[in-house]
Every structure is written in structure tokens, then in C-alpha cells.
Amino acid sequence: MDQKMNKWLDNPVYFRWGFFIPLLVSAGLHNYQIEQNHLYVFYILTTVFLGISFYKKPTWFLFIFTTVVVICRLLRHQPLLKSISIFFTYQSAYYFGKLRSK
């Protein structure tokens, strides 16, 4: 049983799917009138799976994909995009949280 579990955990393909699916679902749900707080869990899952599935990639790779997640989160709220301080706050929270988990 442990060997099957280790084999599954050592294969990052499952976790990469776990990164892309919540990212696409959360970006797709922005078309509907859903409150931003209800979509927050998808961004948390996305960043967790980003860290697990791409942990062997260079830091610049994680930084770029973390930026994509932050932009997707701020996509619906145009006034938030105008506030650069909110963007950098989200960016640093996601990115440095990911580096801590490395």
C-alpha cells in the first residue's frame, strides 16, 4: 500500500492537473455573478498544487505562474487592478508562501 501511495505522490502529473483545473474553473466562474470571497478557495488550491507539482522548477518559473494566479484573481475587479499596492500584496503573499513551503 505504501509503495502505491509513494508512486502516486512521486508523479507530479496529477498535481499539475490539480493546478490547471482549479485555475481554469476559477477563471471561468468569473463570468458568472459569484462573489469574490466564494472563489477564494480555488486560488488557494491552485497555489498549493502549483507548489507541489512544480517544486523542482526554478524560482523564476514559480514567480511567473504565481503572477498568473494573482492576475486571474484580480481580473474581474477592474478597480483593484488600478491599485498596484493590492497587486503586490497578493503577489508577495502567494509567492513568499510558496517559497516557504519549498
Domain ranges of the chain: 2-101
Alpha helices by DSSP H, listed for 1-77, are 2-10, 12-29, 36-53, 59-74
The three cell numbers locating residue 25: 474553473
pLDDT of the residue at 42: 81
Q: What is the pLDDT of residue 57?
A: 87
pLDDT tens for residues 11-69?
A: 788 888 888 898 888 878 877 766 666 777 888 888 888 888 888 888 888 888 888 88
Cell triple for 85: 499596492
CB 78 within 8 A of CB 46: no
Tens-place pLDDT, residues 78-99:
665 567 777 777 777 777 765 5
CA distance readout (Å), 42 to 8, 19, 57, 59: 23, 10, 22, 23
| CA–CA dist 66, 39 (Å, integer) | 17
pTM over 0.75: no
